[in-house]
Amino acid sequence: MLTIVIIAVIVIAAVALFLVVGRGRVRVGGGRGLKHRFGPEYDRAVADHNGDTKAAEQELGERVTQHASLQEQPLTPEARAQYRAQWADVQEQFVESPQKAVTAADALLAGLARDRGFPDGERFEEQFAALSVHHAAHVNGYRSMHTAARGQSGTEEMREAMVEARSLFEVLVAEQPADADQGSSQTPRSRDGNGHAPWALNRRHAKGNNT
């Protein structure tokens, strides 16, 4: 009888130890998975939580839980062409009115994300969270541009935000598999909708208007 009790205690202790170790492995593995998934956005979240890795991972984990199942919607070729033309117009506008251009670009990117199936841009934090789950490597420029659109940046900062936000624009406006057979000779982040290299002249003009 005593032997049976001892064996039972040993088994219970072993199971408890296994569960504790298992939880630790899951937590560490989850952290590595989040860091791999979010990249620089992971470091940004940790910084926003004053170095509290656990709190940052909880926030990022909640983003994944809420938005990972989101299905991105394709754009029609007509909508894609219209968005590219509008973005090119905004870039041209930046030379004369950086603040107005950044505000327009922020609204344009929010509308594009909405049309691709992300939450509406009027709820920026929710839309940004969803975008970070699916396009983490490209969202920082959108955050900077949204800040600039609210008048909290200088001209050079606005220009840099526009340039960086273009990567998310290109990802969202890119051809989807359903119509990829139409082909495209355009290289993302190297040409605008009119076939010109973006910001070749704008940076010089922007610096001349720097505030």
Tens digits of residue pLDDT in 103-151: 999 999 999 999 999 998 788 999 999 999 999 999 999 999 999 999 8
Q: Residue 2 burial (CB < 10 Å; 0-12/13-18/19+)?
A: exposed
Kindly report, residue by residue over 60-75, the tens digit of the pLDDT.
Answer: 999 999 999 999 999 9
Q: Which residue has the tokens 């890795």?
A: 53
Q: Which residues contact 136 (CB under 8 A, 6 or more apart)?
A: 37, 38, 39, 40, 41
Burial of 169 (0-12, 13-18, 19+ CB in 10 A): buried
Question: How far, in Å, CA of 182 to CA of 61, rounded?
Answer: 38
Collapsing DSSP states into helix, strand and coil, what is residue 5?
Answer: helix
Q: Is the pLDDT of residue 200 over 60?
A: no
